[in-house]
Amino acid sequence: MPQPDSASMAVFLDFDGTLVDIAARPEAVQPASRLPGLLAQASHSLGGALAIVSGRPLAQIDAFLAPLQLPAAGLHGLEMRWADGRQFRDEQAAAPLAAVRGELAEFIDHHPDVHLEDKQLSIALHYRAAPQREAACRHLIDRLVADSAGQLTRLDGKCVCELRPSGHDKGHMVAAFLQHPPFHGRQPVFIGDDITDEFGFRMAQALGGFGIRVGGMSPATAARYQLPDVAAVLDWLHLLATAPPQD
């Protein structure tokens, strides 16, 4: 595992399973009390080249880390906040989802053990409390995707199956951040734990950096390195924030 180097790296961090332990429900995660301070310190050492890249909306990330507001990509890139504070939200992405909300609500009426998380620009079906519903969730999402004439796509994560507009992923967001200061010219390091983070690992590696998978290398991953759990990620960030830059 390479030593963290604040002089040369740009760090991209997934949120759930990477900075906070997985919880039974999306709203139940409990960030460590040291997390916002640690992120602020790491960001400062990196000259600001640290971003959160998450499937959650930016507003949720900000609420968990308040008062800290970092550069971030939310909803897998449908929302962005650049290092200079400018924000972008792809409102047009909401249009194809309007037509399918009724059918998703009907599905939940029949399967109340599945939790529907409506993120406005993306809709997730969580089956953590009912793993036996995985196939039914995927089947429904696949049909809605097939009916959407390419406008919508399915994205799988940990006990979740998401319906979202086609065209964005975490890899694109890494590439976008790297085009601008303070990320530009640095070596991208993407840290994540989930299937959607594979896009980030692959892009970081294509652009001269590397991926770090949290929590084991199975199923197969494109990441080159591994950290065992969230606590180890926070320790790595602490090292990054405090170690002198390498020559």
Closest distance between ligand L263DTV3 and the C-beta of residue 169, in Å?
11
CA distances from 24 to 78, 142, 148, 154, 155 (A): 25, 25, 31, 22, 20
Interacting positions 148-177 with ligand L263DTV3 (CB under 6 A): 157-160
Nearest to 183 by CA among 90, 84, 86, 89: 84
Quick one: tokens of 231? 């606590």
Q: Which of 163, 196, 202, 210 binds ligand L263DTV3 (CB under 6 A)?
A: 196
What's the N-to-C CA distance of the chain in angstroms?
17
Q: Which of 124, 189, 204, 241 binds ligand L263DTV3 (CB under 6 A)?
A: 124
Interacting positions 98-117 with ligand L263DTV3 (CB under 6 A): 117
Residues 6 or more apart whose CB falls under 8 angstroms from that of 158 comprise: 16, 17, 22, 128, 193, 194, 195
Interacting span for ligand L263DTV3 (CB under 6 A) from 1-9, 120-128, 211-219, 233-241: 120-128
Angle formed by the axes of helices 101-110 and 134-147, nearest 10°: 160
Residue 84, class by beta-carbon neighbours within 10 Å (0-12 exposed, 13-18 middle, 19+ buried)? exposed
For residue 14, indicate whether it is catalytic.
Answer: yes
Closest distance between ligand L263DTV3 and the C-beta of residue 205, in Å?
19
- Of 159 and 240, the one with the shorter C-beta distance to ligand L263DTV3 is 159
Q: Total number of residues binding ligand L263DTV3 (CB under 6 A)? A: 23
Closest distance between ligand L263DTV3 and the C-beta of residue 60, in Å?
8
Q: Which residues bind ligand L263DTV3 (CB under 6 A)?
A: 14-17, 22-26, 29, 54-56, 117, 124, 126, 128, 157-160, 194, 196
